[in-house]
Structure 1
């Protein structure tokens, strides 16, 4: 292994090559890329790549492997590992997972409570799933990538009287948005408490466009929100949440169709998002109501450190 490959931490100059590598893996697994350069840069806003990310270089200095570990909460870390399709079955994936786990143990040292390491893998990548199952990971969850191609300007969904949808106001609504997120996602699987400054700085990373963030109000009380961003492959809906007592009032549907309308005005027909297939709020049913369809699936595996 040491004679053929070299492992090191990436630098910002490697971001495009890593994007290209992950895109190759996506094409093999689901038939098309599911990553953009802004995705990689956004991720790197959340992790110190000089300690918590790794690349594998071939003898010709080509990036053929990539992995990272991210602390996503008080008791949770997340990781993904990618290997160039032409360099599979050479031990690269196993080596990266071993390095990731060693670093995760260091990060977990001194923390209270059981630490969980979550590994996300394309559902169709049976070899990768077997690899981590053999290392003691257990299947935990399935996420669906949903998609719609807009053919015409969508009709808007009218909200009940007294409820209004307004654009996010930069430098004014940030804490309101965070409070909404914290309350509406608290009962979601995998939720971890985050502090405001970290959360908002990550959301204002590469691709930040406040004109694609919206808040729904009941009089002067915020009750729902949607955050999205424009990517190279379409408009990506990052977060959608509605307070429990205001669900089933059409607020989520109104936020989605309003965002679809903005995308259509900007000549962007492709809308994308990820949803937990076992969502407590049956969010995937809402997305199907507005015309979105499952496109691919990601398996989430868990291991207690």
Structure 2
């Protein structure tokens, strides 16, 4: 049974229904988020499989909310996800025709109330991260007024391939291999943990949970790669094919192997794999203040900044 709450808002439409979604709402949520994406950056950055994949990792009957009008139009969506031992992430979306009516505030209230419940009994301070378009000043002002502070800027980078990419040779003795399911999980997690441990916002997870979350909808082991020197992993790249292009999820290289062309070689290799599959659009997100200057590497291979996402934080 869906628990329903009613909020009266001062506008020409008096009734807005707030409830937890079911799987039947996944397509409506996808359409709403896509509409918000188009408004902010000119094109959608979400697919139905993205929503379903996320909903596998969060209990939507407690950690997600949707808002309907009296005519049953889905106009709002928000969620909170536990993404680490001391971190939770949230996003809130409101239909462009219904902004300024308090719907975003209601969803943020629900998110924060749930985050406080999730934080109880956990050691140390819990961080609630709110991601929103950098150009959306109304949303940024809303979260600032609720006690969040700006802490990071992420760039969505993109390239549309016009021809088969040129390959960069790996250093002598270093080889790239496709990920082998049920064989390389431990090696993959170890190189991820080592290369991202110092990254801002990193939160420790156990290997089994991390691998399971990455093997969601769109998982294709032929688009995961590990770079080896002898029997030791020194770099990795994880990507997946989406409706809007090939999405590069993570790329990392061990500190002592950086600046030797390994990251560039992995990128060009996956570009080539996408091109052979007749997918010419490549997308990724990068921290604009990356400690490894990853954004410079992406620019070197021809990627451009397409949009920016601001990350605001609030301690719970």
**Deviation, structure 1 residue 46:** 1.7
Residue by residue, what CA displacement relative to the aligned partner does 1:225-260 show, whole Å, maximum 9, x if unpaired? 000000000000000011111111111001000000
**Deviation, structure 1 residue 171:** 1.2
Supply the distance in 2 between the matched residues of 1:69 and 1:219 (Cα, whole angstroms). 42
> What root-mean-square deviation, in Å, do the aligned CA atoms of Structure 1 and Structure 2 show?
0.8
**Deviation, structure 1 residue 196:** 1.2
**Deviation, structure 1 residue 42:** 1.8
Q: Does 1:119 align with 2:130?
A: yes
Describe how 1:1-305 pairs up with structure 2 within 5 A: 1-2=7-8, 3-305=14-316
Corresponding residue for residue 3 of structure 2: none
**Deviation, structure 1 residue 140:** 0.4
Supply the distance in 2 between the matched residues of 1:68 and 1:188 (Cα, whole angstroms). 24
Q: Could you say what secondary structure the match of 1:146 adopts?
A: strand
Runs ≥4 in structure 1, deviation > 4 angstroms? none
Residue by residue, what CA displacement relative to the aligned partner does 1:24-44 show, whole Å, maximum 9, x if unpaired? 111111111111112112211
**Deviation, structure 1 residue 18:** 0.3
Residue by residue, what CA displacement relative to the aligned partner does 1:158-179 show, whole Å, maximum 9, x if unpaired? 0111000111111111111111
Supply the distance in 1 between the matched residues of 2:24 and 2:205 (Cα, whole angstroms). 29
Gaps of 5+ in 2: 1-6, 9-13
Gaps of 5+ in 1: none
Q: Could you say what secondary structure the match of 1:261 adopts?
A: helix
Count of aligned positions: 305
Give the TM-score of the pair, scaled to structure 1: 0.99
Supply the distance in 1 between the matched residues of 2:192 and 2:70 (Cα, whole angstroms). 46
Residue by residue, what CA displacement relative to the aligned partner does 1:82-124 show, whole Å, maximum 9, x if unpaired? 0000111111000000110000000001110011110000001
